[in-house]
Each structure stands twice: as C-alpha cells, then as structure tokens.
C-alpha cells in the first residue's frame, strides 16, 4: 500500500471571502483572501501528496464538512487518505468511472476493505489486521458521501455512463422489520427511510473469525463429484458453461475473468504441461481485477478442451447470432445464445443449478462459485510443495502472481488454511498412535 499520500493539520477560516483589489497607478487587479475578524479560525486536516501539494478535490470536501458544522473531520480525512493510497497502489483514479458500478474505484476499494477486516481471533502469521468492521463501514459511508459531494458540486456528475455508487433505500418499519426496496421511499407507514448503497453489501454482517476460516476449498472427493456433474451436462449451452466452471477450477480465475476469457490463444506445445497465457483487458479483453496484467497457467488437457471449443462449429454458430451492428473491442472465447460474453449472474445461476443437482445424491455438497478459486489455490500449493520439496512459504509470491493479488497479504490466508489443516492431521495421527499403543 502506497504511503505517498499523508495529512497535515492547518488553520483555516470556515468562510473566507475573495476580494479584488485594484492598483490605481497600474490598473492591475489582485485577488486577496479576506478573513472576517469575527470568524474564529478552525483546525482542518488536509491531504497532501509526496511533494506536499494539496489534493483536489479531497480537501474541498473536508473544508465543506467544516463549513457544514462538523468540528472534527479527522475520520473523513483518514478514510480519504486510505482511499487515495489504495487508488495509487492499484493504478486507479477517483474519477475513472464508467457505466459498470462493479468497475468503479469506490467498488474496488470497498472490496479491498472487506477483504482486510480485522479478525476476531488474530493470527500472527496472517500479519497485522487492518480494519475493525465498524471502521470499514464508516470509511465506506465517507467515500459514498465524497462522491455525492462531487456530484452536487459538478466535479464528477453521476449519470448513466458514470456510476461510482448504486443507491437504494432501506425502510425500517415500526415493527423492527427491515425492507430493501427501490420504491420503498414512496410508501408511508411512519417508517424510517434510510439511503444506503451497494458498497455496504460487500461487508460481512458480523465481525469474522479469520480470513482462512472463510475459505472452503473442495475436498478431493467433492472435486470428483463436481467434475462428474460438469461432464454430465446435456445441452450444448450447458456444456459451454460447464467448461467455464472447469476453467475457473483449474486456473483460479475469478468469475468475471472467466466470463471474459480471451479468444486469442493457441495450443501448448506437445512437451508442455501447461499453457502460459497473459491476460488483461487492455491486452485481450479479459477483465482482471484492477485491470492488472498477469500470466496464468492452463493445464494442457484443459487447454486442448478450450481450443476444441474455440474452433468448434457450435461457437461459430453462436457468433453468427451476434447482431451485425455490435462491434466488440475484444473477442471473448465463451459466447452465449446472442453471440456475446456471458454475464456473471448467468454463470452463478448455472453453478447453483449444478449444486442443486449434486445435492439430490450428495446433500452436504455445498460450495459457492468463488470456492473454485480457493480450491485451485490450495491444490497449487500442495502439488508444488510436494513435487518440488519446498515449504508453503516459498510458494507465496508465485501464487500471488498467478491469482493477481496486489500483495501476499491476501495470499497468506491460503497458507494459514493449509498449515492449520496440516497441524490438524498431525494431531489426529498422534492421537491415533497413542490410542493404538494404549
């Protein structure tokens, strides 16, 4: 995380006035800041870059909060500083916003904050935890308020093509029930109506135990059940989505990355165990997190399956369904019935159907789509550690690069999970030996 943004405490007036003085001899105009002697100066925390230049429009927002009567804006300054440091570290900017709210800087920041919430039960090997849940919630509220300020002042207008945050209303009724409804603000029953945003949905409802305890990689047996279910799909489009799920499992790609997997790749050479493929939106249209470029490893058998689909008559037929006026900047590999890339919701829905089908025979099989990624990560560390005779720690940088993590802090949760699992197995073995001797 970049430290190039810091704060300074300065003394300012709440409502300074700009006056123009005229030099009578030369006729030149000179702007002068006039400070009302009846107005007491206040302390204001402002943000500066590494060369001590004030940050615009962040400091305008902080000064506006003072004008509105806030005596202390330190928390707001801390939130904006964390936000700006995050943007610098990821190559983003507060004003780089498009029509997709899930690609907004505010959304990415909220995801990062959610991933770095302090554990209730701390583990020294995970590293120092960052945020309490209450702090994370406050910071997100401040970032949302910052974007509302930008809109009100014409600095960054929220529109159909510029959606940094998605707003909705939460209705709290007298009986204590909470309703989320886009039109709930039009009803009246003496209910309390509160505006909220999609960013708060990214936070857990309660303080979690640990990052590793959230992980749920599939067991070997459950992986076999999953693969069999994917291979058993009957319809042509279901087979396409099954291949997408298998790709996520065997490469560790995020769901958005699978949906935008690039068309442009070739078969690996006959003596290669895997195909190395560089991905990013700028490079080939694959929507990686933070638009970060990285190289993934595709097992040769999977690469062959992907290539077979690439040149298949089915894909050619699907592409013909695309309307002629649609010109995609990058060609995705996986196409839906309209000849376009799949939405993440469609793939999530398919995964849920696969899970329901599995549950008919195996009721306790319960995983989410993101568990494909956790399964890949733990499989990678176990396989590489065993084949190369190295410790899990040695593989952290490699895995972080493949998964597209900005730092190994996020990757540490997989190490923590595997070390706990290894410790539990050793403990169980000791108990078994003790019981056998007894």
What pLDDT, in 10s, does the model give residues 28-82? 888 877 777 777 788 889 999 988 999 999 999 999 998 888 888 999 999 999 9
- Per cent of the chain over pLDDT 70 is 85
SS3 395: helix
Spans of all domains in the chain: 1-91, 213-373
**Strands (DSSP E) along 49-104, which ranges?**
none
213-373 is a CATH 1.10.443.10 domain: yes
Quote the CA–CA distance of 150 and 60 in Å, as a whole number. Answer: 10
The number of residues in the chain equals 438
Contacts of residue 264, Cβ cutoff 8 Å, sequence gap at least 6: 284, 331
pLDDT at 175: 52
* Segment holding 429, helix H or strand E: helix 408-437
Helix (H) or strand (E) run with residue 374 in it: helix 371-388
DSSP, res 167? E
Contact in structure between 49 and 62 (CB atoms under 8 Å): no
Tens digits of residue pLDDT in 288-338: 988 899 999 999 999 999 999 999 999 999 999 999 999 999 999 999 999
CB count, 10 Å around CB of 407? Answer: 12
Single pTM value for the model: 0.62
Rounded to an integer, what distance in angstroms lies between the CA atom of residue 396 and that of residue 415?
8
Owner of token pair 């583990």: 123
Burial classification of residue 309, based on how many CB atoms lie within 10 Å of its CB (0-12 exposed, 13-18 middle, 19 or more buried): middle
| Interval 93-112: pLDDT, tens | 999 999 988 889 999 999 88
């Amino acid at each position: 995380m970049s430290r190039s943004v810091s704060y300074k405490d300065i003394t300012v007036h709440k409502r300074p006035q700009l006056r123009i003085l005229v030099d009578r001899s030369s006729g030149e105009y000179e702007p002068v800041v006039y400070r009302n002697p009846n107005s007491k100066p206040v302390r204001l925390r402002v943000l500066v870059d590494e060369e001590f230049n004030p940050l615009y429009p962040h400091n305008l927002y902080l000064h506006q909060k003072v004008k509105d009567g806030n005596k202390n804006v330190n928390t707001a300054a801390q939130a904006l500083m964390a936000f700006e440091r995050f943007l610098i570290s990821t190559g983003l900017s507060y004003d780089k916003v498009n029509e997709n709210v899930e690609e907004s800087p505010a959304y990415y920041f909220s995801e990062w904050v959610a991933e770095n919430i302090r554990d209730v039960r701390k583990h020294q090997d995970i590293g120092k935890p960052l945020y309490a849940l209450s702090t994370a919630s406050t910071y997100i509220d401040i970032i949302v308020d910052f974007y509302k300020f930008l809109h009100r002042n014409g600095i960054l207008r929220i529109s159909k093509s510029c959606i940094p945050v998605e707003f909705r209303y939460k209705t709290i009724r007298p009986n204590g029930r909470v309703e989320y409804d886009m039109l709930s603000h039009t009803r009246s029953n003496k209910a309390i109506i509160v505006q909220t945003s999609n960013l708060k949905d990214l936070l857990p409802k309660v303080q979690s135990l640990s990052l590793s305890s959230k992980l749920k990689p599939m067991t070997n047996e459950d992986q076999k059940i999953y693969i069999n279910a994917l291979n058993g799909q009957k319809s042509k489009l279901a087979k396409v989505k099954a291949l997408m799920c298998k790709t996520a499992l065997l490469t560790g790609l995020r769901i958005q990355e699978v949906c935008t997997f690039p068309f442009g790749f070739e078969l690996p050479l006959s003596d290669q165990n895997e195909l190395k493929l560089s991905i990013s939106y700028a490079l080939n249209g694959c929507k990686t997190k933070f638009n970060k470029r990285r190289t993934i490893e595709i097992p040769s058998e999977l690469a062959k399956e992907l290539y077979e689909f690439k040149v298949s008559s089915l894909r050619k037929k699907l592409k013909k369904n695309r309307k002629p006026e649609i010109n995609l900047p990058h060609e995705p590999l996986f196409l839906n019935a309209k000849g376009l890339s799949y939405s993440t919701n469609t793939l999530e829905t398919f995964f849920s159907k696969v899970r329901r089908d599995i549950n008919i025979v195996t009721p306790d099989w319960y995983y989410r789509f993101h568990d494909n990624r956790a399964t890949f990560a733990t499989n990678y560390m176990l396989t590489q550690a065993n084949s190369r005779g190295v410790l899990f720690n040695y593989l952290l940088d490699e895995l972080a690069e493949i998964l597209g993590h900005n730092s190994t802090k996020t990757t540490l949760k997989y190490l923590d999970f595997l070390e706990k699992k290894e410790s539990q197995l050793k403990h169980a073995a000791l108990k078994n030996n003790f019981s056998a001797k007894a």
